[in-house]
């Protein structure tokens, strides 16, 4: 390992390169501050870049995200570290934050890679493609996904057999297995935490049979199936590749559920499920789509109209939380629930079930600061110490929070929150500037 | 028909052991995960709703609380930790109090001090009686035997018959169920099958039939011990078969109840997490019944009883408390009400069919 630590200086550190972190970085950079944007994944864009369309406008998500990500990547005031992790941040005094950053090796020199994909073709190793949510496979030498940024190959060293096939075919000789992790010590004047959220893991609810029943998928998997960069070019159920014609949505899968330790509402599942239902009605005009819900929470601008529109399109809405999901031999699924409007327990058969998984906090945010200096709320989101007056403020002066790191929220709210965090950060730098 | 709402119902039900049911947000998960819930009989969410609204009359007319055998799945899976399982349990206690014309059931469920006072009163009565006989073993055994027979007859005629009639009135007459008399006969198998096998409890916990089996063995052991002591006069019998039978039955009773008590102490299941005084009383007294009967017979066989008459007085005290408090007004009654509830449900379905 390369023990030599490089010391670097920036005005602002933004932790997390999703839509909130990207927006905050852009605002800071456009105001003339030099920003280091640290992303743990291989591409910028977070979860939004993987989505199909956005509610309630049905705009293409990638068409909004990709230009924004390019702008971030090309900005002269922004430096991007992908596959990197901020291990600690120490506040020495006002305007003086010292962060330790580890940059993992990609085994590809990004600046030389032309994304020709010859390495992908040569690589003999197939593994599940995490960016396509495991629906299809990918190689161990691969381009993460077609609209990734940076668009460059990467080596998945965990699964690589070190056969060297990719290295031989690479026309620019950019593959380099001698790359080592790099350590950086960053000095920055302010920090924006945009560490995002984790999706609820449906394996925690065994009665829904995720991982056992082949045709039970998560909403993120469905999101990939209907995205422009989708894996199958149509909607297929994973069990046997049949085009489904009776699809069920199970809302509150891991939200508003104290029995799995997440009693709060995820705020987005009702709307993204309604959005997916509308897209499915378009993609599969003959299919029936039923949404099983506890309450439909269509509280935002244009949301209620969007919900009514789905009803008008013929999406069925049934009030009643799904209790259990059982699999039939033909791969169809039996959903047991109480139809609340009648007070009667019922069973319904569907050929594909989508679990509308909820939003969970990413508690890593709290681990970065020593001695729990960054306070988390009871659900382990970053605590907002002045929620009403200054929602971007955290328990540490000079550290601000953007997007879903603070609470579940939708895309417009994440971007608003990033705007608030970046302007708070600028005003913090200005206030503590040496005269 | 206008519904009467009792806004204080939640407070009242709390005295019967309900926990947090007002947290319910009406998702129906409890009903959906319940293995006994059917399209014809969907519960427990409806019961939670009625309780939250304080619709006492509807609750009184419902048989659904008796359909539940408390596997605890609804409580484990409840997203609001509203504990529907314990609500069903407390409704059964509350219903027991509603059916009881004397009102003593309710008093015993709601007040621990009243329960203790009643137990002490009965104990004092037994001691006074024992003193009046001059602590004569033979006489005590004889009177104890007579007392058992008398108690069974009286409790049945004075308490159970009127209470079951009241239950019938609330759940059948008030619900305007009209069936020919013939249905009451043709539904009878439902009553006896459920009374002696609790066959629905077997479907309750799908993976674990042990609880059902254990409970059924206890019911049989208890009933046959009753029969052996009352009609075969176990304590006075000379027949080896009767003597051994009695030993076996009383052994089973106290061994199984020791297991039940330890479960409640360990709180190892949903069912055992919120024990009320009435639950403790029932299971501990049943344990003491089995154990003291076993020891009395053992003392007789070892010819120790003459000099250790306290053993029999102890047994008589437990017996009297059991027969005068727990059987007519306590948890014992679930044996009757549950089986009659299945019987009445069957009668209702006959009307619908």
Residues B29 and B78 in one domain: yes
Q: Which of A45, A85, A36, A78 is nearest to A64 (CA)?
A: A45
On whether residue B272 sits in a domain, the answer given is yes
Residues B155 and B300 in one domain: yes
CB contact under 8 Å between B42 and A323, yes or no, is no
At residue B129, does pLDDT exceed 80?
yes
DSSP letter assigned to residue B170: I
B72 chain-A contacts, CB cut-off 8 A = none
Span B311-331, average pLDDT: 92
CB contact under 8 Å between B29 and A336, yes or no, is no
pLDDT of residue A435: 52
At residue B333, does pLDDT exceed 90?
yes
pLDDT of residue A109: 96
**CA–CA separation, B45 vs B62, rounded Å?**
13
Name the residue with tokens 């299945």.
B342
In the beta sheet, which residues pair with residue A338?
A345
CB contact under 8 Å between A259 and B81, yes or no, is yes
Same fold for the pair A8-103+181-196+362-431 and A200-359: yes
B77 chain-A contacts, CB cut-off 8 A = 207, 259, 323
At residue A434, does pLDDT exceed 80?
no
CB contact under 8 Å between B79 and A263, yes or no, is yes
Mean pLDDT of chain A, nearest integer: 95
User: B20: how many CB neighbours lie within 10 A of its CB?
Assistant: 15
Q: In what order do the strands lie in the sheet with A84-93?
A: A5-9, A182-188, A96-103, A84-93
Pick the CATH number of A105-179 from 3.90.1150.10, 3.40.980.10, 3.20.20.70, 3.30.70.20: 3.30.70.20
Q: Which domain holds residue B148?
A: 104-352
| A-B C-beta contacts closer than 8 Å | 69
Query: Do B334 and B92 meet the contact criterion of CB atoms below 8 Å apart?
Result: yes
- Band (pLDDT 50/70/90 cuts) for residue B273 is confident
pLDDT of residue B1: 56
On whether residue B109 sits in a domain, the answer given is yes
% of chain A exceeding 90 in pLDDT: 96
Residues B74 and B195 in one domain: no
Span A104-110, average pLDDT: 96
Residues B314 and B206 in one domain: yes
B176-211 pLDDT, tens digit per residue, is: 888 888 989 999 999 999 888 888 888 887 677 888
* Nearest CA distance, B207 vs chain A (angstrom): 14
Q: Of B99, B130, B163, which one is at a domain's C-terminal end? A: B99
Residues B222 and B74 in one domain: no
pLDDT of residue A3: 66
Interface test with B, best of A250, A252, A321 (most B CBs within 10 A): A321
Q: Of B57, B80, B99, which one is at a domain's C-terminal end? A: B99
A173-182 pLDDT, tens digit per residue, is: 999 999 999 9
**CA–CA separation, A312 vs A300, rounded Å?**
19
A258 chain-B contacts, CB cut-off 8 A = 78-81
Q: Which of B122, B108, B130, B49 is nearest to B84 (CA)?
A: B49
Classified by CATH at the fold level, domain A200-359 comes out as FAD/NAD(P)-binding domain (3.50.50)
Encode B321-336 in three state secondary structure: HHHHHHHHHCHHHHHH
Token code pair at residue A43? 């591409």
Dihedral sign, Cα of residue B188, residue B193, residue B198, residue B199: negative
CB contact under 8 Å between B45 and A344, yes or no, is no
Q: What are phi and psi of B183, to 5 degrees?
A: -60, -35
Residues B89 and B191 in one domain: no
CA–CA distances in Å: residue B188 to residues B183, B193, B223, B334: 8, 9, 20, 18
On whether residue B73 sits in a domain, the answer given is yes
pLDDT of residue B268: 83
Bond before A109 cis per omega within 30 degrees: no
* Nearest CA distance, B33 vs chain A (angstrom): 5
pLDDT of residue B309: 85
A40-69 pLDDT, tens digit per residue, is: 999 999 999 999 999 999 999 999 999 999
Element (H, E) at B168: helix B161-168
Which residue intervals of A370-410 are DSSP H helices? none
- As a whole number of angstroms, the longest Cα–Cα distance in chain A is 75
pLDDT of residue B130: 87
pLDDT of residue A372: 83
Residues B83 and B133 in one domain: no
**CATH 3.50.50.60 for domain A8-103+181-196+362-431:** yes
Q: Which of B349, B343, B334, B303 is nearest to B100 (CA)?
A: B334
Q: Of B75, B99, B123, which one is at a domain's C-terminal end? A: B99
**CA–CA separation, B92 vs A54, rounded Å?**
50
Higher pLDDT, A284 or B2: A284
pLDDT of residue B120: 96
Span A378-400, average pLDDT: 96
Dihedral sign, Cα of residue A310, residue A316, residue A318, residue A324: negative
Higher pLDDT, A341 or B148: A341
At residue A349, does pLDDT exceed 60?
yes
A233-270 pLDDT, tens digit per residue, is: 899 999 999 999 999 999 999 999 999 999 999 999 99
CB contact under 8 Å between A337 and B28, yes or no, is yes
What was the ipTM of the complex prediction? 0.89
CB contact under 8 Å between B32 and A324, yes or no, is yes
Interface test with B, best of A254, A258, A323, A341 (most B CBs within 10 A): A323
On whether residue B2 sits in a domain, the answer given is no
- Band (pLDDT 50/70/90 cuts) for residue A433 is confident
A343 chain-B contacts, CB cut-off 8 A = 42, 45-46
In chain B, how many domains are there?
2
Residues B16 and B61 in one domain: yes
A118-163 pLDDT, tens digit per residue, is: 999 999 999 999 999 999 999 999 999 999 999 999 999 999 999 9
Nearest residue, CB atoms, A345 vs list B26, B39, B80: B39
B136-182 pLDDT, tens digit per residue, is: 878 888 888 888 889 989 999 999 999 999 999 999 999 888 888 89
A181-216 pLDDT, tens digit per residue, is: 999 999 999 999 999 999 999 999 999 999 999 999
* Nearest CA distance, B85 vs chain A (angstrom): 15
Bond before B44 cis per omega within 30 degrees: yes
Interface test with A, best of B32, B44, B62 (most A CBs within 10 A): B32
In the beta sheet, which residues pair with residue A355?
A218, A250
Residues B83 and B219 in one domain: no
A411-426 pLDDT, tens digit per residue, is: 999 999 999 999 999 9
On whether residue B163 sits in a domain, the answer given is yes
Interface test with A, best of B20, B27, B71 (most A CBs within 10 A): B27
**CA–CA separation, B164 vs B176, rounded Å?**
17
A337 chain-B contacts, CB cut-off 8 A = 28, 32
Interface of chain B toward chain A, CB-CB under 8 angstroms? 25-29, 31-34, 37-39, 42, 45-46, 76-81
Enumerate the domain spans of chain A: 8-103+181-196+362-431, 105-179, 200-359
B38 chain-A contacts, CB cut-off 8 A = 345
Task: Indicate the range of A89-103, A140-154, A289-303, B120-134 predicted with least confidence.
Answer: B120-134
CB contact under 8 Å between B79 and A259, yes or no, is yes
Characterize the bridge pairing of strands A359-361 and A333-339.
unpaired
At residue A2, does pLDDT exceed 60?
no
pLDDT of residue B148: 84
């Amino acid at each position: 390992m390369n023990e030599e630590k490089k010391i670097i200086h920036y005005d602002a550190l933004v932790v997390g390169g999703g839509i909130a972190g990207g927006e905050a970085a852009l605002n800071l950079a456009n105001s003339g501050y030099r920003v280091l944007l640290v992303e743990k994944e291989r591409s910028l864009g977070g979860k939004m870049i993987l989505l199909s369309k956005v509610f309630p406008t049905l705009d293409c998500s990638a068409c909004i995200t990709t230009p924004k990500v390019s702008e971030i990547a090309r900005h002269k005031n922004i430096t991007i570290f992908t596959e990197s992790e901020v291990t600690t941040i120490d506040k020495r005094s006002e305007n003086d934050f010292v962060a330790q950053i580890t940059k993992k090796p990609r085994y590809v020199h990004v600046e030389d890679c032309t994304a020709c994909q010859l390495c992908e073709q040569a690589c003999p190793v197939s593994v599940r493609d995490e960016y396509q949510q495991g629906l299809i496979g990918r190689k161990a030498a691969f381009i993460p996904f077609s609209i990734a940024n940076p668009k460059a190959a990467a080596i998945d060293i965990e699964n690589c057999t070190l056969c060297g096939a990719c290295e031989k075919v690479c026309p620019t000789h950019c593959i380099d297995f001698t790359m080592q992790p790099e350590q950086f010590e960053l000095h920055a004047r302010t920090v924006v935490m945009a560490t995002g959220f984790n999706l609820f893991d449906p394996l925690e609810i065994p009665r829904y049979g995720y991982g056992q029943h082949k045709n039970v998928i998560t909403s993120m998997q469905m999101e990939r199936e209907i995205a422009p960069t989708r894996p199958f070019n149509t909607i297929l159920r994973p069990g046997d590749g049949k085009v489904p014609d009776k699809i069920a949505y199970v809302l509150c899968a891991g939200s508003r559920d104290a029995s799995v330790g997440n009693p709060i509402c995820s705020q987005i599942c009702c709307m993204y499920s309604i959005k997916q239902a509308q897209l499915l009605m378009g993609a599969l005009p003959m299919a029936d789509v039923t949404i099983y819900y506890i309450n439909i929470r269509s509280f935002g601008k244009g949301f209620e109209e969007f919900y009514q529109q789905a009803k008008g399109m013929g999406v069925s809405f049934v009030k009643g939380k799904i209790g259990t999901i059982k699999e039939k031999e033909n791969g169809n699924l039996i959903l047991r629930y109480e139809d609340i409007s009648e007070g009667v327990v019922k069973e319904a058969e569907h050929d594909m079930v989508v679990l509308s998984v909820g939003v969970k906090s990413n508690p890593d945010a709290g681990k970065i600061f020593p001695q729990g200096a960054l306070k988390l709320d009871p659900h382990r989101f970053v605590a907002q110490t002045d929620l009403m007056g200054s929602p971007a403020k955290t328990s540490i002066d000079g550290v601000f929070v953007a997007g879903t790191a603070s609470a579940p929220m939708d895309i417009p709210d994440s971007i608003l929150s990033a705007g608030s965090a970046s302007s708070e950060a600028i005003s913090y730098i200005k206030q503590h500037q040496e005269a | 028909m206008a519904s009467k709402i009792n806004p204080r119902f939640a407070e009242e039900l709390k005295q019967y052991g309900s926990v947090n049911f007002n947290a319910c947000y009406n998702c129906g998960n409890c009903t959906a995960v319940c293995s006994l819930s059917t399209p014809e009989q969907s519960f427990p969410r409806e019961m939670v709703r009625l309780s939250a609204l304080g619709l006492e009359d509807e609750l009184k007319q419902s048989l659904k609380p008796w359909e539940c055998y408390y596997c605890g799945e609804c409580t484990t899976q409840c997203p609001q930790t509203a504990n529907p399982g314990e609500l069903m349990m407390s409704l059964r206690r509350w219903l027991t109090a509603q059916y009881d014309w004397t009102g003593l059931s309710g008093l015993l469920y709601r007040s621990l001090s009243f329960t203790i006072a009643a137990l002490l009163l009965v104990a004092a009565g037994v001691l006074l009686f024992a003193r009046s006989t001059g602590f004569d073993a033979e006489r005590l055994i004889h009177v104890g035997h007579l007392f058992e027979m008398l108690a069974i007859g009286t409790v049945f005629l004075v308490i159970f018959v009127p209470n079951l009639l009241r239950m019938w009135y609330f759940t059948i007459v008030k619900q305007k169920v009209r069936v020919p008399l013939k249905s009451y006969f043709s539904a009878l198998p439902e009553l006896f099958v459920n009374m002696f096998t609790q066959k629905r409890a077997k479907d309750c916990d799908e993976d674990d039939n042990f609880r059902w089996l254990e409970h059924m063995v206890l019911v049989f052991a208890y009933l046959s011990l009753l029969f052996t002591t009352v009609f075969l006069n176990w304590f006075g019998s000379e027949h080896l078969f009767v003597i051994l039978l009695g030993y076996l039955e009383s052994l089973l009773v106290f061994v199984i109840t020791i297991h039940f008590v330890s479960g409640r102490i360990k709180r190892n299941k949903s069912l055992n997490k919120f024990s009320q005084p009435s639950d403790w009383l029932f299971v501990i007294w049943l344990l003491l019944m089995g154990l003291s009967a076993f020891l009395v017979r053992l003392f007789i066989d070892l010819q120790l009883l003459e000099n250790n008459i306290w053993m029999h007085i102890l047994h008589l005290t437990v017996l009297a408390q059991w027969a005068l408090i727990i059987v007519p007004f306590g948890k014992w009654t679930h044996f009757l009400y549950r089986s009659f509830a299945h019987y009445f449900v069957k009668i209702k379905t006959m009307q619908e069919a």
